[in-house]
Chains A and B, each alone.
Chain A
């Protein structure tokens, strides 16, 4: 019996534009599929069905900690994020009990009471970003979508603007593929330097903002040390900016593609929270999750995995699995029913979900409210996604804000 081949190579140019045919094939033919991960050329497994993704993310036989558990091949490929820097010990790579300790200290800053206070600054920042979009000569929704989380996170962290911008740029350099390892190493050193500067400055003006809460967070006698504070600050920027940008961009495109859904949403503000969940399912900001590593030789979903095996959870495949969601490829903002994995699942589920929901819930409808005649400024088939193995987001989305005669 021959099975037709994968419709597109995984993590190749066609896949980046539309990964869904490959995901459908994987779910049907090879739900735990071994392949060579092209970035770094490493033996890797990809998990594509909802049920298996859910199980993987909740399974303590897997670790996020590459330094402790990944195969030699993975470590030697240079894929370990920020190896040997303060960033190498961020929350996303920790296992319990370290994860529990840091997550508890960090979660204390995201209480429902504090999150509720972030709506007002978000609304103000969205309004200002719309003004800037209106004045722009070449209005681009991705510019709008980038400006919002950068300003919101800066404001709620309560950090001064100039150093914060330096920090954003250093993080950008650190994660941009670069053959010159020195550039990357230098960028990580800068992250640490800027972080320490910001924290020092902050200690002199503690308030009710997020950074002050991190600095003052206590759990009994426990607290975050200097390196952990720098890592936390960098993590908020790494995890909170491009993700939110991508969700806003993809959601605006989805509503341009589906005028009837857009009309529905604009007619009833009560639909906004459900719509945000549907945007996270339909075109979530992460195509796949961060790498997991098998801590031991094991069976997973009927497949043998050797200790050290790098495994990726295809979040967007899980979110489009017809075994889980009815008509999964249809955008339906009134969808009820099972929860998506757009914010991940289990131990490492998104810490900033409540903030992301506020930002998306304000920023997405606001575009259509302000510019009811908005339309694409390029042919639909020229709209392109960025080639990024982790994040799914539009490279740009040029629009006409006021289409005459429409």
Chain B
């Protein structure tokens, strides 16, 4: 099963923590809001990175789906 990474722009406040943590995975768009640079995560490092950001984002805007563990 693939792991996908998305940002819910209706929740994102543009705090930029995701990009500061992992510039390879996130950028801030012209609207100042976060955009994933990759939507399918394959390596264990990427998946762990995405989970870190999910835990740190102040608005719960980052959505990672397809993880096996609960």
B32 x A346 contact (CB < 8 A): no
A349 x B16 contact (CB < 8 A): yes
With a cutoff of 8 Å between Cβ atoms, the chain B residues found around residue A351 in the complex are 58
With a cutoff of 8 Å between Cβ atoms, the chain B residues found around residue A112 in the complex are 59-60
With a cutoff of 8 Å between Cβ atoms, the chain B residues found around residue A338 in the complex are 32
Which of chain B's residues has its CB closest to A349's CB? B15
Bound together, the chains give a CA A110 to CA B15 distance in angstroms of 15
A339 x B20 contact (CB < 8 A): no
With a cutoff of 8 Å between Cβ atoms, the chain B residues found around residue A104 in the complex are 52, 55-56
Q: What range describes how many residues of B lie at the interface?
A: 10 to 19
* B67 close to A (CB within 8 Å): no
A349 x B19 contact (CB < 8 A): no
B55 x A107 contact (CB < 8 A): yes
Bound together, the chains give a CA A347 to CA B52 distance in angstroms of 12
Bound together, the chains give a CA A57 to CA B20 distance in angstroms of 8
With a cutoff of 8 Å between Cβ atoms, the chain A residues found around residue B32 in the complex are 338-339
Number of A-B contacts (CB under 8 A): 56
B21 x A347 contact (CB < 8 A): yes
* A354 close to B (CB within 8 Å): yes
* A223 close to B (CB within 8 Å): no
A339 x B55 contact (CB < 8 A): no
Bound together, the chains give a CA A104 to CA B52 distance in angstroms of 7
Which of chain A's residues has its CB closest to B20's CB? A346
With a cutoff of 8 Å between Cβ atoms, the chain B residues found around residue A349 in the complex are 15-17, 58
B 31-70 binary contact with A (CB < 8 Å = 1; else 0): 0100000000000000000001001111110000000000
- Main secondary structure on chain A at its contact with chain B? loop
B58 x A111 contact (CB < 8 A): no
Q: Taking the nearest CB of chain A, how far is it from the CB of B7, in angstroms?
A: 15
Q: What range describes how many residues of A lie at the interface?
A: 20 to 34
With a cutoff of 8 Å between Cβ atoms, the chain A residues found around residue B13 in the complex are 339, 353
* A100 close to B (CB within 8 Å): yes
B 18-32 binary contact with A (CB < 8 Å = 1; else 0): 011101000000001
Bound together, the chains give a CA A108 to CA B56 distance in angstroms of 8
With a cutoff of 8 Å between Cβ atoms, the chain B residues found around residue A274 in the complex are none
* A96 close to B (CB within 8 Å): yes
Q: Taking the nearest CB of chain B, how far is it from the CB of A272, in angstroms?
A: 17
With a cutoff of 8 Å between Cβ atoms, the chain A residues found around residue B14 in the complex are 339
Bound together, the chains give a CA A127 to CA B20 distance in angstroms of 40
Which of chain A's residues has its CB closest to B13's CB? A339
Bound together, the chains give a CA A104 to CA B21 distance in angstroms of 12
With a cutoff of 8 Å between Cβ atoms, the chain B residues found around residue A339 in the complex are 13-14, 32
A 299-343 binary contact with B (CB < 8 Å = 1; else 0): 000000000000000000000000000000000000000110001
Q: Taking the nearest CB of chain A, how far is it from the CB of B32, in angstroms?
A: 5
* A196 close to B (CB within 8 Å): no
Bound together, the chains give a CA A103 to CA B58 distance in angstroms of 10
Q: Taking the nearest CB of chain A, how far is it from the CB of B67, in angstroms?
A: 13
B55 x A58 contact (CB < 8 A): no
Q: Taking the nearest CB of chain B, how far is it from the CB of A55, in angstroms?
A: 10
Select one of A103, A344, A354 contacting B55, CB under 8 A. A103
Bound together, the chains give a CA A349 to CA B55 distance in angstroms of 14
Which of chain B's residues has its CB closest to A108's CB? B55
With a cutoff of 8 Å between Cβ atoms, the chain A residues found around residue B57 in the complex are 107
Q: Taking the nearest CB of chain B, how far is it from the CB of A179, in angstroms?
A: 37
Which of chain A's residues has its CB closest to B51's CB? A104
Q: Taking the nearest CB of chain A, how far is it from the CB of B53, in angstroms?
A: 9
Select one of A58, A96, A111 contacting B16, CB under 8 A. A58
With a cutoff of 8 Å between Cβ atoms, the chain B residues found around residue A354 in the complex are 58
With contacts A103-B55, A347-B17, A349-B17 known, what are 7 further pairs, Cβ within 8 A? A100-B21, A100-B56, A111-B60, A346-B16, A346-B20, A349-B58, A350-B58
Return 14 A-B CB contacts under 8 Å, by A number.
Answer: A57-B16, A58-B16, A60-B20, A104-B55, A104-B56, A107-B55, A107-B56, A110-B58, A219-B55, A345-B15, A345-B20, A346-B15, A350-B58, A354-B58
Seen from chain B, the residues whose Cβ lies within 8 Å of a Cβ on chain A are 13-17, 19-21, 23, 32, 52, 55-60
